[in-house]
């Protein structure tokens, strides 16, 4: 449980410039568009949690709200903003690049916006990736396409080299669009900036289809991704129920967190079993997957299993390998589950029609759905407000419908994952009627 001190956002210094957004509210009796610098968004959201603390509201943990400030740190006339996308693809990356650029140009009058190519690698002159001048004309309709126009990458880069490049190009604020790994990287960039005493801010916009970043509500692109995954589950259901002893096995992404599997399964209620990294299961034994599946197929004639790629890793041979960013390469649980099911039906002399679907990269290479598009645009605007107000070492998030600033050290402290004791997993159990304990 974070303390109030853990939730304090770092700032480059006092805000000496009036915000150009002030012209919008000039002459109005109220200026509710602007965020009050002394307002806070409470961490706890129930009376019982607050009561348990027994403290005045002012000392209870709370976040700085996101949104435009009446006074800003950077002078828009001279400000130069950098933008980079890192890590795996995610629907909405182009929406965010577009909205950051347009917010800077249109509302702050900032006309120097530079996009770094191919993730953190783009800062290293040795790679020879020329930065891109992001303009309203360039970004106008990029939101219609999946992927990122800037390119992305995995793999470590030296923060010293990155800060050297920021200094060489005169960047005042860097917007990092990335996942947990990118935010670790962003924090190391901040440490190097701080070591040199430079007035350069770093603001993150959390991206990942896995939704494994804590404290930020939900990462953009997650909703689009699970929506795409749910289409594969619906197809598996149709295939399974149209066959004699039909079984659909759908593998979805989700390295350490089973959110995609849970939400995709809940989206159409076609799943009979959801297997996620957070909840261990046995393959064999009375409560294990194979016997439970046998019972379900006997009762209903068919069944659908949704399998997160990171589930049941204890049943696989550890690969001992990792990708360029240090993320572990997973064992192939789908093949193990599939072979166990096929062997069991074969040994029992039962017919089986098993269809294996892996929507794979197809769930993250698509453009954002309308709901994620809105979310991307708004997160981007809030990130620009934060950057212009001199905030640093923070990411933007939306907790319970409130935009907030979350310090990066807090979001990289741990991973967000499905709580097996929580209400999401309970919904999955209710929807699938799978055994509570499959060990």
Ligand X SMILES: Nc1ncnc2c1ncn2[C@@H]1O[C@H](COP(=O)(O)OP(=O)(O)O)[C@@H](O)[C@H]1O
Ligand Y SMILES: O=P(O)(O)OC[C@H]1O[C@](O)(COP(=O)(O)O)[C@@H](O)[C@@H]1O
Q: Could you list the active site residues?
A: 210
The reply, when asked if residue 105 is annotated as ligand binding, is no
Sign of the C-alpha dihedral computed for residues 268, 271, 272 and 276 taken in this order: negative
CA–CA separation, 232 vs 317, rounded Å? 27
Q: Is 88 in the site for ligand X (CB under 6 A)?
A: yes
Shortest reach from residue 60's CB to ligand Y, in Å: 32
Shortest reach from residue 152's CB to ligand Y, in Å: 8
The reply, when asked if residue 253 is annotated as ligand binding, is yes
Among 69, 98, 117, 188, binds ligand X (CB under 6 A): 188
**344 phi/psi in degrees, rounded to 5:** -65, -45
Q: With respect to ligand X, which residue has the nearer C-beta, 79 or 208?
A: 208
What does the block give as tokens for 178? 């990335």
Shortest reach from residue 409's CB to ligand X, in Å: 12
**How many residues interact with ligand X (rule CB under 6 A)?**
22
The set of residues, in sequence order, having a beta carbon less than 8 Å from that of 32 and lying 6+ positions away, is none
Q: Is 147 in the site for ligand X (CB under 6 A)?
A: no
Q: With respect to ligand Y, which residue has the nearer C-beta, 168 or 324?
A: 324
Q: 17: exposed, middle or buried (C-beta count within 10 Å: 0-12, 13-18, 19+)?
A: middle
Find where tokens 């005045």 sit: 56
Which residue has its beta carbon closest to ligand Y?
A: 88
SS (H, E, C) 105-171: HHHHCCCEEEECCCHHHHHCHHHCCCCEECCHHHHCCHHHCCCCCCCCCCCCCCHHHHHHHHHHHCC
CA–CA separation, 403 vs 397, rounded Å? 6
Q: With respect to ligand Y, which residue has the nearer C-beta, 40 or 154?
A: 154
The reply, when asked if residue 400 is annotated as ligand binding, is no
Q: With respect to ligand Y, which residue has the nearer C-beta, 272 or 309?
A: 309
The reply, when asked if residue 344 is annotated as ligand binding, is no
Q: Among 5-13, 84-92, 138-146, 166-174, which window interacts with ligand X (CB under 6 A)?
A: 84-92
The reply, when asked if residue 17 is annotated as ligand binding, is no
The reply, when asked if residue 364 is annotated as ligand binding, is yes
Shortest reach from residue 212's CB to ligand X, in Å: 8
CA–CA separation, 81 vs 174, rounded Å? 6
| Contact characters 325-364, ligand X, x per CB under 6 A | xxx-------------------------------------
Interface residues toward ligand Y, by CB under 6 A: 87-88, 154, 179, 208-210, 253-255, 309, 323, 364
Contact, 341 vs 292, CB < 8 A? no
Among 131, 179, 310, 312, binds ligand X (CB under 6 A): 179
Number of neighbours of residue 359 by Cβ within 10 angstroms: 22
Shortest reach from residue 371's CB to ligand Y, in Å: 19
Helix ranges, 140-285 (H): 159-169, 180-196, 222-241, 259-268
Annotation: binding site: 88, 154-155, 179-182, 208-210, 253-255, 309, 361-364
Give the binding site for ligand X (CB under 6 A): 86-88, 119-120, 153-157, 178-182, 184-185, 188, 208, 325-327
């Amino acid at each position: 449980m974070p303390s109030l001190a853990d939730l304090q956002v770092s700032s480059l210094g006092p805000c000496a410039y009036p915000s150009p957004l002030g012209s919008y509210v000039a002459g109005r009796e109220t200026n509710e568009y602007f965020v009050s610098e002394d307002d806070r968004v409470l961490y706890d959201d129930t009376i019982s949690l607050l009561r348990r603390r027994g403290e005045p509201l002012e000392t209870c943990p709370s976040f700085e709200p996101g949104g435009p400030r009446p006074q800003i740190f950077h002078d828009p006339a001279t400000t130069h903003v950098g933008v980079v996308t890192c890590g795996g693809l995610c629907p909405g990356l182009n929406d965010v690049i577009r909205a950051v650029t347009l917010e800077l140009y249109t509302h702050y009058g900032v006309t120097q916006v530079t996009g770094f190519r191919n993730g953190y690698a783009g800062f290293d002159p040795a790679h020879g990736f020329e930065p891109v001048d992001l303009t309203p004309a360039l970004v106008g309709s990029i939101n219609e396409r999946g992927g990122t126009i800037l390119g992305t990458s995995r793999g470590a880069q030296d923060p010293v080299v990155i800060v050297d490049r920021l200094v060489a190009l005169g960047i005042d604020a860097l917007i990092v669009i990335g996942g947990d790994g990118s935010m670790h990287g962003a924090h190391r960039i901040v440490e190097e900036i701080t070591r040199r005493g430079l007035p350069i801010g770093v603001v993150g916009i959390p991206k990942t289809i896995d939704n494994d970043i804590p404290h930020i509500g939900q990462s953009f692109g997650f909703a689009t991704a699970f929506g795409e995954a749910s289409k594969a589950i619906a197809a598996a259901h149709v295939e399974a129920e149209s066959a004699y002893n039909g079984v659909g096995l759908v593998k979805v992404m989700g390295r350490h967190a089973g959110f995609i599997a849970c939400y995709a399964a809940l989206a159409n209620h076609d799943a009979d079993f959801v297997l996620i990294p957070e909840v261990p299961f046995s393959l064999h034994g009375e409560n294990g997957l194979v016997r439970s599946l046998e019972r379900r197929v006997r009762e209903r004639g068919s069944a659908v299993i949704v399998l997160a790629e990171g589930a049941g890793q204890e049943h696989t041979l550890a690969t001992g390998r990792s990708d360029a960013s240090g993320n572990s390469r997973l064992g192939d649980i789908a093949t193990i589950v599939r072979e166990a099911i096929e062997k069991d039906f074969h040994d029992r002399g039962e017919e089986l029609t098993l269809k294996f679907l892996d929507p794979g990269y197809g769930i993250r290479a698509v453009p954002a759905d309308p709901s994620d598009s809105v979310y991307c645009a708004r997160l981007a605007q809030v990130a620009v407000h934060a950057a212009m107000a001199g905030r640093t070492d923070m990411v933007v998030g939306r907790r319970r419908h409130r935009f907030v600033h979350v310090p990066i050290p807090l979001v990289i402290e741990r991973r967000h994952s499905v709580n097996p004791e929580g209400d999401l997993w309970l919904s999955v159990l209710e929807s699938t009627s799978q055994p509570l304990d499959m060990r």
